[in-house]
Structure 1
Amino acid sequence: MHNRSYDIGSAVERRKNSPDERHWIVPFGRNKEFVGREAILQDLLGRIPPSVDEGDCQRTAIEGLGGVGKTQIALEAAFRVGDAYPDCSVFWVPAVDATSFENAYRAIGQQLKVPGIDEEKADSKALVKTVLSCESSGSWLLVVDNADDIKLFGDTDLADYLPFSRKGSILFTTRNHEVAVELVESERRIIPVEEMSRDEALELLQKGLKGNQIGDVASTDALLGFLCNLPLAIRQASAYMGKKQISTTQYLELCNSSDEETIELLSRDFEDRHRYKDIQNPVATTWLISFQHISEHDPLAADYLRFMCFLAGKNIPQSVLPPSGRLKTIDALGTLKAYAFISQHKESDSYDIHPLVQLSMLCWLAQSGEQGEWAAKVLQRLADVFPVPKHKNREEWIGYLPHTQHALELRKGTEDGDALTGLLSRVGNSFHQLGKYKDAERMHRQALGLREKVLGKEHPSTLTSMNNLASVLNSQGKYKEAERIHRQALGLRVLGDEHPNTLTSIGNLASMYRNQGR
């Protein structure tokens, strides 16, 4: 121990004797295609230079959804600090896993000529931490990129190897809000990064394409909207369009052709010198890595994400999710919010899911053979919570309606069962009350077809579906078909002449005659 201490001291003394020596360990060159983000950069440059707070080693985190451009912002910030502070060393540490973290520390130690850094059993992380923690090592900025995995920084001791010096500053990038809070210890030190503005997104797209490829303004705008102004998705689309020499109109057509085509496009790797070579960079892969992290440490959150991808993307009420205890539910939703997969409406228990994340999740479920299973689970839960539509509970069923409709459209391999037919009937009745007769007719026809197939034509539930369909046909003025179905239901009379359902059929037929003046 005495020898090692002496060696560290020697390294620090050498650094002290050459104060003008600046070290630069950043694995990328400056990104000449970087655009926008000026407000975020100005905020960063007011926080991260070591001289900003002479009494502390400040910590700052930029957080946001995978693919939102955190690494590129950090890279540009590092170059701007380097330009503005010639005596400030800049070190870059990828934190994808423990190995990449340790390798980066070893590279720092080698450039600082830390004695013993190349020994077989050397603790490179401890050696570098000790050197950088000495103020005589000068000013430095340490960028810890992709600090996403809670296990690395929460459950292991990697965070213990972060140096402390009043002449130092640490900038983290993370897609996990929980990790950000763990590392910087204050919400005030976290800068959220969201999708680009439309002007920034257009400028980024134009960087990689020729004028004739973006000549159709409407298609270009629609494509940026489809890609949610997400920088990585734009770069990926731009790379594909540039390589294949196609226009935004043609690329948009591919995206709109099918979900499978879209995911294939979002899953294609592309060359980018400003991203890590050994890590795949497609958008879909970026999110899949996040989902795997979630599955490992919060299975309920992963299940909620699977569940929510079958619902309409906006205003998802918390009450529609499978109950699992209030605390567990809050924790699980907090995990999904931490990764920016979902966002919560202010002062409301309703959520939005990112549209491209939703699409990616559906395709992962299809590829793993789980889509049918989860579609059935979602429909069963909706059948449990969707009330019989009445005026007094109108707000409740209207809130569930778009999600139920979306789930019904995505169902696969769930063509029978009381849950499905009951749900179709209630949705049909809801549309009927709202005056959406064509949608109501479509739902009631599906319910009737399934009940005839599963229960038979004379089952009471089948007769109910017949009456529901005839009623909505009557509302549309389709009197001949409505009368035929009413008479068919009445003619069966399986419940007896005085059963309420039989009397309802008689009343419905009489009402239809009255509407026609008959």
Structure 2
Amino acid sequence: MGGVGKTELALQYALKYQENYPGGLCWLQVRGADLGTQLISFGRRDLGLTIPDELEFNDQVRYCWRNWPQGTVLIVLDDVPSFSKDYKKRIEPYLPPAQSRFKVLITSRQRPGASYRRIDLDVLSPEAALKLLESLVGKERIDKELKEAEALCEWLGYLPLGLELVGRYLDLDQSLTIAKVQKRLEKKKLATKALLCPTEQGEMTAQLGVAAAYELSWQELPPEAQQLGCRLSLFATAPFDWPLVESCLIETEDEDDSEEEQEELEELRDRFLVNPNMLALTENKTYRLHPLIREFFQTKLAQLPEADSYKQSFCQAMAAKAKEIPKTPTRDQIAAVTPAIPHLAEAATVFTNWIRDEDLLSLFTGLGRFYEGQGSYNQAERWWELCLEITRSRLGEKHPDVATSLNHLAENYFNQGRYDQAQSLYVKALELRKELLGEEHPDVAETFNDLAVFLEDQGLFDRSESFFLKALEIRKTLLSEDHPDLVLSLNNLGRVYWIQERYDQAKSLLDQALEMTKKLLSEDHPYKIYILNNLGALYSAQGDYHQAEDLYHKALEIARHRLSEKHPHVAHILNNLANLYNLQGQYDQAEPLLLQALDIIKPCLGKKYPHVAHILNGLGNLYNLQGQYDQAETFYQQALKIRQHWLGEQHPHIAESLNRLADLYYSQEQYDQAETFYQQALKIRQHWLGEQHPHIAESLNRLADLYYSQEQYDQAETFYMQALEMRKGCLGEQHPHIADSLNNLANLYYSQEQYDQAEPLYQQALDMNKKLLGRKHIYVAHILNNLANLYNIQGQYDQAKPLYIEALDMKKQLLGKNHPDLVVSLNNLANFYYSQEQYDQSETFYMQALEMRKGCLGEQHPHIADSLNRLADLYYSQEQYDQAETFYMQALEMRKGCLGEQHPHIADSLNNLANFYYSQEQYNQAEPLYIEALEIAERKLGSNHPKTVTCRDNLERLRDIRNNP
């Protein structure tokens, strides 16, 4: 290739090592000159030879060689045009004799045969190119415009000739900026003055500008090779596979004719473009034009009458390639099409006017799918937006392709969490498709399905279900029974059923979808990822954690294999798996998965997208469960801010974040803050979902729990009743959420010692859950525990004990033998034996609970302090005062370490320790503890909180005794 510095390198070598050649240096220009004449002139002029005129011309040449001065000689043959027959005729007769003292150095744009020792020159590295430019214009100018200088080097393709010409051009005008030269180059291409050889070359070796240098090579090409070069210039500057070129140039469908054309193209390519280095063969067996050669060929293409036809063929071929990209491309499919993407993009942006109307959608859809298939939604967005813009401009507003473009862009916005924009476009797409295609069409079904996914995400389950059913009905009517689109419809409808806890219906549909994938698609088809993930969520919701974990792992394996390690779907499954481990108390396993998911999703979507907030909430849950409240709050707040930024203040996802924060404050007994956030979440849900919705009932239930914890029983009962009635209205009389409301009301009556009202509610809830969820379910175990507590407190020990044991055994079976939820059952059994003064058995269960908590939560956790406190109470009851004091003190110190000095639980521990000293008449030690407990309670809970009242009463009782001994 011209311009890489072959002549300059040969010259630098000759000058540097001239002492190694005492016989002299002879520089002979080959292209456009007679070699023999130059040699004879050199002999007479530089060697002082008297060459007899009567000798034949070739004999005069041989005379020069015979009489050459002694010593090693360097002969440079610069710019040999060819090593073919022309070489044998024009050059071989004049080469020196085969003596070791004659060393011949040849520069050429062509590749010589294998017998030559060859050094191939390429363009410079980016670093070397920048260094060359710096040597010409000065370090100060480069430092001032470093990014512009790097971009300039890249535009010039790191070609030494281009860099030297532009560098000297800049040096002539010190006021000229690099950025301005770049603009001139982009506008005028090779005709820019900076790329023309200056009239005063100074120290430049090159005699020609870039275009003139390439013109020499162009003139040596046959017309067919010139045409091929022009057509290759349509490709982007990136490498391209040769079959992609063939798809543009070979139009015949006849196999024999096609093979013949392939051979002819390969011959032209290798002999006339690759061999003279005008076309580079890369290490990956792809081909690439140097940017400046590409510019040169494009100027020649513009002069051809067939230029428009060539551009149309190029665009057609790129559209055909784009059609090969499926909606959910696998990792292998992405890898296979990746080399073609820059060229598809070139067709879509540079040659838009030459794309046929029928190819517009295919080309842009392929590009959008390519990036979305890797989770790069922001990169895909550009292509979907451009697709909509161009289809509207070219085809008009009322065209099916415009509707499809709207649908694609809506899906992209949805995946990025831009919900308002997504909804608007989905609605437009649906209306347009109905208008143009009628109600019964696969495209209409697609939009119904996509809009249903959107509505489900927003918590609008009834509307979502309705749209999923419409999509499924249309597809069943129009498509065959074994069409892959039915798989998606069954999967999506199954998902909305499990979210609504209609588990039997959900499982039936998801199982159907899974069987269809096994029958219709490959074992590791991407559709299987969605189905396995949803089945995992279904089993998790039903408490079958082992089955759920197995399904998540299968989904994860396929996603990693088929989509890539860094795909958003992988992050989604990791998040679900982490949540599963959270449910089982396996926090050490959950945390790294959530962090992995976060690392995957951030590069795909950016650090401040709604999907990132989803994982941040998961991390908040993890730390909240472990009692790391400060960390939990940080993640919850980050998630809330991200959602507020993208979704505004009135959105269901904002309500979810507010509820998370409220739960956190509730667990720390910061009831005022919790109530504020619960109320805000309720208002948002009412605004978004209306007055009657399961999520509204959930918010009412949370508020009822809050009032219940503060012993505001009337308010709690009102909200529990409202939640129950709303759930019945929305979900029917038989639903797990109805059982939950009945259980909550029963707990309320239990706390008020209204046992006759509590028992039938517990029984109703238990029977309902057994019927709906099966006899072995975690919710069943919870109600068994509650019912056992009821019997225990009434002294009905024979009825209580078997229920406690049944609940514990069920939890062990469902959750494993080491789960935080087992602690509740162990503590209940300990309480059961404690109430009967069977202290040894009680101690055994309390100790088991303590060890289990340590195993699940570590040595420092508020729940560990709770276990220590229970043991202290036990030892106190047995008058083992030293042990009791030790455990009370340990509980206090642990709570301070975990929760800080001013937490309501600190007030509890201080009060317990004060009670201990009070009972032993150690009033001097008890009083300051009561005072400190009261101050914390008043500050954190308010003057009228039940705990505050208890602390105040205890202090007054102590003072009364001291004042009235």
Specify if TM > 0.5.
Answer: yes
Aligned to 1:90, the other structure's residue is in SS state strand
Structure 2, unaligned runs of 5 or more? 251-258, 461-965
Aligned partner of 1:146 among 61, 71, 79: 79
RMSD value, Cα: 3.7
**Structure 1 contact 312–403 (Cα < 8 Å) conserved:** yes
Residues 1:316 and 2:240 are matched in the alignment = yes
Residues 1:334 and 2:273 are matched in the alignment = no
Aligned to 1:322, the other structure's residue is in SS state helix
Aligned partner of 1:497 among 439, 442, 446: 439
Aligned to 1:91, the other structure's residue is in SS state strand
Partners in 2 of 1:395 and 1:102 — Cα distance?
Answer: 55
Partner of 1:377: 313
Partner of 1:191: 119
1:253-304 CA distance string (max 9 Å, x none): 421465224531453222325667xx851123323332443x327x34x445
Partners in 2 of 1:105 and 1:192 — Cα distance?
Answer: 27
Aligned partner of 2:41 among 87, 99, 107: 107
Residues 1:407 and 2:347 are matched in the alignment = yes
Partner of 2:425: 482
1:493-515 CA distance string (max 9 Å, x none): 43x43332333333333333333
Residues 1:130 and 2:44 are matched in the alignment = no
Partner of 2:53: 116
Partners in 1 of 2:233 and 2:87 — Cα distance?
Answer: 29
Instruction: Label 1:275 to 1:151 Cα distance change in 2 as closer, same or farther (>3 A).
Output: farther
| TM-aligned CA deviation for residue 66 of structure 1 | 1.7
| TM-aligned CA deviation for residue 516 of structure 1 | 2.7
| TM-aligned CA deviation for residue 322 of structure 1 | 1.7
Q: In structure 2, what residue type is equivalent to 1:481?
A: S
1:14-44 CA distance string (max 9 Å, x none): xxxxxxxxxxxxxxxxxxxxxxxxxxxxxxx
Residues 1:290 and 2:211 are matched in the alignment = no
Instruction: Label 1:232 to 1:152 Cα distance change in 2 as closer, same or farther (>3 A).
Output: farther
Aligned partner of 2:412 among 468, 472, 477: 472
| TM-aligned CA deviation for residue 138 of structure 1 | 4.6
Aligned to 2:311, the other structure's residue is in SS state helix
1:89-114 CA distance string (max 9 Å, x none): 332221112x4535424523543332
Instruction: Label 1:305 to 1:487 Cα distance change in 2 as closer, same or farther (>3 A).
Output: same
Residues 1:234 and 2:163 are matched in the alignment = yes
**Structure 1 contact 208–238 (Cα < 8 Å) conserved:** yes
Aligned partner of 2:102 among 168, 183, 187: 168
Partners in 2 of 1:110 and 1:231 — Cα distance?
Answer: 35
| TM-aligned CA deviation for residue 147 of structure 1 | 0.6
Partners in 2 of 1:266 and 1:202 — Cα distance?
Answer: 17
Q: In structure 2, what residue type is equivalent to 1:134?
A: R
Q: For 1:414-453, list aligned pairs within 5 A.
A: 414=354, 416-451=356-391
Structure 1, unaligned runs of 5 or more? 1-64
Instruction: Label 1:497 to 1:194 Cα distance change in 2 as closer, same or farther (>3 A).
Output: closer
Q: In structure 1, what residue type is equivalent to 2:211?
A: A
Aligned to 1:170, the other structure's residue is in SS state strand
Q: In structure 1, what residue type is equivalent to 2:108?
A: T
| TM-aligned CA deviation for residue 192 of structure 1 | 2.1
Partners in 2 of 1:286 and 1:204 — Cα distance?
Answer: 20
1:390-420 CA distance string (max 9 Å, x none): 4343322333223211332221642543234
**Structure 1 contact 92–143 (Cα < 8 Å) conserved:** yes
| TM-aligned CA deviation for residue 172 of structure 1 | 0.8
Partners in 2 of 1:190 and 1:145 — Cα distance?
Answer: 14
Aligned partner of 1:391 among 329, 332, 343: 329
Q: In structure 2, what residue type is equivalent to 1:85?
A: Y
| TM-aligned CA deviation for residue 441 of structure 1 | 4.2
Q: In structure 1, what residue type is equivalent to 2:222?
A: E
Partner of 2:182: 255
| TM-aligned CA deviation for residue 200 of structure 1 | 5.6
Q: For 1:205-220, list aligned pairs within 5 A.
A: 205=133, 207-209=135-137, 212-216=140-144, 218-219=146-147
Partners in 1 of 2:388 and 2:184 — Cα distance?
Answer: 31
Instruction: Label 1:242 to 1:186 Cα distance change in 2 as closer, same or farther (>3 A).
Output: same
Greater CA drift, 213-222 or 395-404: 213-222
Partner of 1:95: 30
Aligned to 1:129, the other structure's residue is in SS state helix
Partners in 2 of 1:207 and 1:461 — Cα distance?
Answer: 55
- TM-score, normalized by length of structure 2? 0.40
Aligned to 1:190, the other structure's residue is in SS state coil
The structure with more radius of gyration: 2
Instruction: Label 1:202 to 1:365 Cα distance change in 2 as closer, same or farther (>3 A).
Output: same
Partners in 1 of 2:362 and 2:122 — Cα distance?
Answer: 41
Partners in 1 of 2:313 and 2:52 — Cα distance?
Answer: 60
Greater CA drift, 505-514 or 210-219: 210-219
Partners in 1 of 2:126 and 2:339 — Cα distance?
Answer: 30
Aligned to 1:93, the other structure's residue is in SS state strand
**Structure 1 contact 196–231 (Cα < 8 Å) conserved:** yes
Partner of 2:524: none
Aligned to 1:517, the other structure's residue is in SS state coil
Greater CA drift, 422-431 or 190-199: 190-199
Partner of 2:280: 343
Instruction: Label 1:128 to 1:196 Cα distance change in 2 as closer, same or farther (>3 A).
Output: farther
| TM-aligned CA deviation for residue 307 of structure 1 | 3.9
1:306-339 CA distance string (max 9 Å, x none): 3443434334222211256454454444343333
The one of the two structures with greater contact order (alpha-carbon pairs below 8 A, sep at least 6) is: 1
Q: In structure 1, what residue type is equivalent to 2:329?
A: H
**Structure 1 contact 486–509 (Cα < 8 Å) conserved:** no
Partner of 1:267: 195
Q: Which structure has more strand as a fraction of its residues?
A: 1
Q: In structure 1, what residue type is equivalent to 2:107?
A: T
Partners in 2 of 1:171 and 1:354 — Cα distance?
Answer: 26
